[in-house]
Amino acid sequence: MQDLIDFPVSDDWLEHYHKIGLTPHRPPDRSLEEYAYRLEKLLKHYENRIEMLEQNQKTLIKLVSKLLGEKNTKKGEKIKSERKINL
């Protein structure tokens, strides 16, 4: 394969040009620190998402408990102040 890229490019572009066959050269392997940084960033993102979903779940459980309590009160039934809902 002839090297059609005869000018300096970043590793990202070198990888792209290699994939489409414009150069036989491959970029050097990315450093472990870069992967660790990206993984840490993703981990933090997903931890935040999980925290948000847990808060939403708690809010929904409270709303459903309140709704079920109001329905039972209207029927004249005694209800406990706390009710566990199994999902």
Summarize the confidence of residues 6-10 as an average pLDDT.
Answer: 89
pTM above 0.85, yes or no: no
What whole-number distance in Å separates Cα of residue 2 and Cα of residue 22? 7
Phi/psi of residue 23, each to 5°? -150, 145
**47 and 39 Cβ atoms separated by less than 8 Å:** no
The pair of structure tokens assigned to 40 is 């840490």
**83 and 66 Cβ atoms separated by less than 8 Å:** no
Q: Residue 22's pLDDT is what?
A: 92
pLDDT tens digits, 30-73: 677 777 888 999 999 999 999 999 999 999 999 998 888 866 55
